[in-house]
Amino acid sequence: MNEKVTSNDVAKKAGVSQATVSRVINNYSFVRESTREKVLQAIEEMGFTPDQVARSLNMRKTGTIGLIVGDISNPFFSETAKVIIGEARESGFDVIISDTDHSDQNLGKAIQTLIGKRVDGMLIGSVGRFDTNVQQLVDKRFPLVMYNTRLDRDDCNYVVINNVKGARVAMKHLLDLGHQKIAYISGNTKYSTLYDRLNGYHETIKKQGLPFRQDYVYDGELTVAGLQRFLQTPWQDEERPTAFFASNDQIALLLMEAALSLGIRVPEDISIIGFDNISYSAKPFIQLTTVSQQHRRMASLALEKLIQLMNTDDKTLKVSANLEPEIIVRNTSAALEQ
């Protein structure tokens, strides 16, 4: 910024050695009060701000963590990011955010630049089950905690909910309301989260002895137009799904849009249940029934675990946590009218 005042300049002005300046900015205890004050005053007068870059270089830590998400404009991620940024700061960390747009290639690049920047640890909210870039990080035992999604291996650190169970809970809710013909809108199953939810759906269908119909599972483009086409599938009347389980709230909202545009009423004509409980789902004009994955708590825990990881030398420490899914019944699901 202005004419680069360094600890050396401060030292000269205060008439002490540069090391002493370093001692006072680091609150080292054994500095005579009078010299401490001299230094402090010089710092004040010269507008000195310690250079964290230099500091990082020989401390081998930067006080920065990397946060990688698939889409920061998705409320799920912006809401978790808020928690992470806030609590990280309280613990003395800044956070660099990378947005991958759900591309594996971008994820790879993001990891590379973050490694280059020597972040002390990473939090990853979107990672494919078999992502090779993240696998390598794990193999290297780089301090890393995944949340929301995780790799398909156990020797890694993550905070997730039991998504199979979450899907089961969602299905049970629909079944309890009398629905039997339940369609599923799948997101990209490269993510464990979405893969597990799909499995929970399948599992429930099977356990209930319901016929499995491939045409009840949508895995096309996640746009209003695509979902409109799905809703307009030429089912026989008695085969038409009466309930739709969307693999997350964003998708559920899209589905609600599609239904609305087609004059299909929710929940009168069809019931809809989502997953995640993003804050918009609670809005009175939406009132989406959904399953909470306690995302703020998840974010908070993930950071807490990461900090543990960064503070230990035990390369074998496991810090994963599992949260419980929780159903939130609102107005988009209703009993099936006979």
Partner DNA sequence: GTGAAAGCGCTAACAG
Partner DNA sequence: CTGTTAGCGCTTTCAC
Calpha distance 243→75 (Å, rounded): 25
- As measured in angstroms, the least distance from the Cβ of 264 to its own copies is 12
CA distances from 160 to 71, 157, 224, 237, 322 (A): 18, 10, 29, 39, 5
Return the structure tokens found at 324: 């419980």
Among 5, 14, 43, 85, binds its own copies (CB under 8 A): 85
**Which does residue 8 touch among DNA, its own copies, none (CB within 5 to 8 A, set by kind)?**
DNA
CA distances from 21 to 4, 15, 32, 92, 312 (A): 16, 10, 12, 21, 29
Calpha distance 140→127 (Å, rounded): 17
**Which does residue 173 touch among DNA, its own copies, none (CB within 5 to 8 A, set by kind)?**
none
**53 burial type by CB count under 10 A (0-12 exposed, 13-18 middle, 19+ buried):** exposed
Strand partners, 291: 327
Tell me if 279 contacts its own copies by CB under 8 A: yes
Tell me if 286 contacts its own copies by CB under 8 A: yes
**Which does residue 35 touch among its own copies, DNA, none (CB within 5 to 8 A, set by kind)?**
DNA
Residue number with CB closer to its own copies (97 or 175): 97
**Which does residue 153 touch among DNA, its own copies, none (CB within 5 to 8 A, set by kind)?**
none
Site string for DNA, 41-70 (x = CB under 7 A): -------x-xx--xx-xxxx----------
- As measured in angstroms, the least distance from the Cβ of 14 to DNA is 9
- As measured in angstroms, the least distance from the Cβ of 24 to DNA is 8
Contact 247, 276 (CB under 8 A): no
Residue number with CB closer to its own copies (140 or 206): 140
Handedness of CA 297, 301, 304, 306 (dihedral sign): negative
Q: What residues line the site for DNA (CB under 7 A)?
A: 4, 6-8, 15-20, 22-23, 25-26, 30-32, 34-36, 48, 50-51, 54-55, 57-60
